[in-house]
């Protein structure tokens, strides 16, 4: 593709179309000049290629492999796992004709209640950066572009569409931007996706400091910057700030703003050209026809189990594990049969294969015996989709009450109790001192059942280590008092997040960052410094093959790590050379914004705020009825994956609608909810009936798209 020749032939209307998406997951083609359409799809832990090419909700997509989510993957402390997963996902992308996968997500886990933490790696920037870079390398080595997200300070869900993250430059540079910087410099992702939220009062999509000064000038990023779906606010301001591609597109108002801006001179042509050129470069680098090669779903299913085994964390073991062959087991807990293996939201995958814990036990001929005839009680517990999902933050750090009551009752039996946990984030564990073992699977992917059976019976040795701190109670979290409570998210704790905070202030935790047990034992020597490098020797002093992680901490921060696998009696010497620090001192000053009024309703108001007026309540109920209808449809389906997926999709839709703004809803919905409708809703909610009617009756006029000519 001769990009400069194409640029000289593109009309202004074609350039305006080129920097806008279409049909929800595609870029606009320019048929006149042979410019192809580029296809994107949700990730990051598997492919969600939607059917019929458009937005069909989270439950209608092509079969694909659901791998362990980032919360699990990071607990393996093994970038090779992320690289292998990226390679496998890329094979599935190429089969279905997907050119760019929307992932990985490397946002810092600031608070355990964030509803999307399952999709992020760690509270530590180095670990998150290393894992994210490995996934990008895996994807791009097989011909599929990656989209690094969500840039930046997107650390909560309740107000993610309009929230204002207020933080000092020191806090941002030394913590929240670090994983993005690492991935950009080490792995060179094809694209970076900007987040919905504001940073210090400026939306990420039009934040020139973030997109141009930091990303392009400081870090040298030369790829494409796109929005998250519906994250655009002012299209002209975004182009000037360095935002190339608006997704999902088909928002007529954005093309109108561009064309009007070029015509009246408020938008320099060079800004539009820069963005159009980056879209052409992206298409030239990554658009390839679907290769038609069949996907080896069995091999990918086996890989999913392999990764889940390597990432599971044995948090407690008083000798109850591994289970003895032939042991009589009483099996309890709602997640035994309905194993939660992936998160709820836009990354929800239609698994090509599925092996639950119940499936794996049945394959071994293992059946539950009564609360009185057993040797050991197994309880499968954890967070369900109702408690944890993209689109909203959790209300507390508790497990469902019914599960806690069941575990307490089983502990009264006097038999050994083993708890197997599923979920994307830490929970309070009031039963920790009562039970004999806790095996944390996080969200282990579609073959988590195979992995958990092998781990419980000692055919695999748990070797995961926590990539985040598990506090004793939520009140101990530094941002507990204010997190997710309003539009302004004040990062008052600075860089004191996770283990940095607990270690500095000597606050006891349930399980610390890096914690994890094994069925064997290890001895580690002290770190020895030799020039810029540090060495440590690890010896397997037990009777089983196992893996341990060498973790180097300098000045209270993780500076490097390496996982080693050792036979009994075997030793290995690890050498780590930390990344050099640039030594730049950043300002720790932060301006605390005042809370904006909730009324009158604006385009940036949270959708739930519409309920403050009579007309607003009617509009709110009408929109939420869409989710209610989906819930009713799900309830009519027979038990099985289709019903579960439909129900999860309805729950996610409800959360998204509640937390959305009229502006982002319009920018995401395209033709079905144009910008003038958003204006009309706003006016009606404020009691301005005539203004509302006028807005609804005043369509936005733009030229046809090039594909429609």
Active site residues: 228
Q: How confident is the model at residue 58 (pLDDT cuts 50, 70, 90)?
A: low
d(CA 332, CA 350): 27
Q: What is the pLDDT of residue 59?
A: 60
Q: What average pLDDT is seen over the chain?
A: 96
Parallel, antiparallel or unpaired: strands 470-471 and 509-511? antiparallel
Contacts (Cβ under 8 Å, ≥6 apart) of 493: 478, 479, 501
d(CA 194, CA 42): 15
SS3 537: strand
Q: What is the pLDDT of residue 642?
A: 78
Q: How far is CA 335 from CA 59, 342, 379, 402, 407, in A?
A: 20, 12, 8, 12, 13
Least confident segment among 431-445, 506-520, 629-643? 629-643
Tell me the pLDDT tens digit for each residue of 526-536.
999 999 999 99
Contacts (Cβ under 8 Å, ≥6 apart) of 144: 89, 90, 93, 94, 98, 99, 100, 101, 286
- Greater model confidence, 637 or 149: 149
Residue 136 predicted with pLDDT over 70? yes
Count of C-beta atoms within a 10 Å radius of residue 37: 19
Q: What is the pLDDT of residue 178?
A: 98
Tell me the pLDDT tens digit for each residue of 581-617.
888 999 999 999 999 999 999 999 999 999 999 999 9
d(CA 238, CA 228): 13
CA dihedral defined by 313, 319, 321, 325, rounded to 10 degrees?
A: 170
Q: How confident is the model at residue 290 (pLDDT cuts 50, 70, 90)?
A: confident
Percentage of residues in the chain with pLDDT exceeding 90? 91
- Radius of gyration from C-alpha coordinates of the chain: 25
CA 363 to mean position of chain CA atoms: 33
The domains found in the chain, sorted by start residue, are 305-513 (3.40.50.1700), 519-593 (2.60.40.10), 607-708 (no CATH)
- State the SS3 of 31-52: HHHCECCCEEEECCCCCECEHH
Q: How confident is the model at residue 548 (pLDDT cuts 50, 70, 90)?
A: very high
Tell me the pLDDT tens digit for each residue of 291-311.
888 999 999 999 999 999 999
Q: CA nearest 149: which of 168, 172, 175, 128?
A: 128
Ordered DSSP codes for 572-621: EEEEE-PPPP-----------PPPPPS-S--TTSBGGGGGGSHHHHHHHH
Counting Cβ atoms within 10 Å, is residue 697 exposed (0-12), middle (13-18) or buried (19+)? exposed
Instruction: At 618, list the tokens.
Output: 């009617």
Tell me the pLDDT tens digit for each residue of 471-498.
999 999 999 999 999 999 999 999 999 9
Ordered DSSP codes for 193-208: EEPSSEETTEEGGG-H
Tell me the pLDDT tens digit for each residue of 341-357.
999 888 999 999 999 99
Residue 54 predicted with pLDDT over 70? no
The residue assigned the tokens 């699990």 is: 72
Kindly state the DSSP code that residue 671 receives in the 8-state scheme. G
Mean pLDDT of the region 134-156: 98
Count of C-beta atoms within a 10 Å radius of residue 508: 9
Q: What is the pLDDT of residue 51?
A: 85
Q: What is the pLDDT of residue 644?
A: 81
Mean pLDDT of the region 46-68: 81
Tell me the pLDDT tens digit for each residue of 668-697.
998 899 999 999 999 999 999 999 999 999
Q: What is the pLDDT of residue 57?
A: 59
Q: What is the pLDDT of residue 163?
A: 96
Q: What is the pLDDT of residue 56?
A: 55
Residue 68 predicted with pLDDT over 80? yes
Count of C-beta atoms within a 10 Å radius of residue 643: 16
């Amino acid at each position: 593709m001769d990009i400069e020749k194409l640029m000289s032939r593109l009309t202004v209307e074609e350039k305006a179309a080129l920097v806008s998406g279409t049909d929800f997951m595609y870029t606009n083609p320019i048929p006149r000049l042979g410019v192809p359409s580029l296809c994107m799809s949700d990730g990051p832990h598997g492919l969600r290629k939607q059917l019929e090419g458009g937005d069909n909700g989270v439950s209608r997509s092509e079969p694909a492999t659901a791998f362990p989510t980032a919360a699990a993957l990071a607990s393996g402390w093994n970038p090779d796992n992320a690289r292998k997963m990226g390679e496998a996902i890329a094979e599935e992308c190429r089969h279905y004709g997907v050119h760019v996968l929307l992932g990985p997500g490397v946002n810092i886990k600031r608070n355990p209640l964030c509803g999307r933490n399952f999709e992020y790696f760690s509270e530590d920037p180095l670990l998150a950066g290393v894992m994210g870079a490995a996934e990008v390398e895996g994807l791009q080595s097989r011909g599929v572009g990656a989209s690094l997200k969500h840039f930046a300070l997107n650390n909560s869900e309740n107000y993610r569409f309009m929230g204002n993250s207020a933080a000092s430059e020191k806090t941002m540079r030394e913590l929240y931007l670090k994983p993005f910087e690492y991935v950009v410099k080490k792995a060179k992702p094809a694209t970076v996706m900007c987040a919905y939220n504001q940073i210090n009062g400026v939306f990420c999509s039009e934040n020139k400091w973030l997109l141009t000064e930091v990303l392009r000038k400081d870090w040298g990023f030369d790829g494409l910057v796109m929005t998250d779906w519906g994250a655009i606010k002012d299209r002209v301001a975004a182009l000037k700030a360095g935002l190339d591609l608006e997704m999902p597109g088909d928002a007529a108002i954005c093309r109108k703003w561009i064309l009007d801006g070029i015509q009246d001179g408020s938008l320099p042509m060079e800004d539009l050209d820069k963005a159009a050129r980056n879209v052409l470069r992206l298409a030239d680098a990554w658009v390839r026809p679907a290769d038609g090669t069949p996907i080896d779903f069995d091999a990918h299913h086996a890989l999913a189990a392999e990764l889940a085994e390597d990432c599971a964390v044995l948090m407690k073991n008083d000798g109850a594990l591994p289970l003895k062959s032939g042991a009589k087991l009483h099996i309890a807990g709602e997640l035994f049969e309905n194993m939660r293996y992936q998160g709820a939201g836009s990354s929800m995958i239609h698994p090509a294969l599925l092996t639950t814990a119940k499936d794996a036990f049945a394959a071994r001929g293992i059946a539950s015996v009564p609360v009185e005839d057993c040797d050991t009680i197994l309880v499968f517990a954890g967070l369900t989709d109702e408690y944890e999902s993209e689109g909203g933050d959790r209300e507390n750090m508790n497990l469902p009450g019914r599960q806690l009551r069941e575990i307490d009752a089983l502990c009264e039996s006097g038999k050994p109790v083993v708890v197997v946990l599923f979920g994307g984030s830490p929970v309070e564990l009031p039963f920790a001192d009562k039970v004999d073992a806790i095996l944390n699977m996080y969200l282990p992917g579609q073959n988590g059942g195979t992995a958990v059976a092998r781990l419980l019976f000692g055919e695999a040795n748990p070797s995961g280590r926590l990539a985040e701190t598990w506090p004793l109670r939520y009140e101990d979290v530094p941002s507990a008092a204010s997190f997710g409570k309003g539009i302004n998210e004040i990062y008052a704790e600075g860089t004191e997040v996770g283990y940095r905070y607990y270690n500095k202030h000597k606050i006891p935790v349930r399980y610390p960052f890096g914690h994890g047990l094994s069925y064997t034992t290890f001895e580690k020597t002290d770190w020895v410094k030799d020039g810029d490098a540090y060495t440590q020797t690890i010896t397997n002093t037990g009777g089983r093959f196992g893996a341990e992680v060498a973790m180097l901490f300098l000045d209270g921060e993780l500076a490097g790590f390496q996982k080693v696998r050792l036979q009994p009696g075997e030793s290995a010497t690890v050498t780590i050379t930390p990344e050099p620090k640039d030594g730049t001192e950043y300002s720790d000053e932060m301006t605390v914004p005042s809370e904006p009024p909730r009324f009158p309703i604006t385009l940036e108001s949270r959708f739930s705020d519409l309920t403050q007026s009579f007309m607003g309540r009617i509009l709110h109920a009408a929109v939420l009825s869409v989710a209610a209808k989906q819930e009713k449809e799900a309830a009519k389906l027979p038990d099985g994956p289709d019903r579960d997926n439909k129900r999860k999709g309805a729950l996610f839709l409800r959360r998204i609608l509640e937390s959305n703004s009229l502006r982002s809803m319009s920018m995401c919905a395209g033709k079905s909810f144009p910008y003038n409708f958003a204006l009309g809703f706003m006016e009606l909610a404020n009691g301005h009936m005539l203004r509302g009617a006028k807005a609804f009756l005043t369509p936005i006029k733009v030229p046809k798209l090039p594909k429609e000519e």
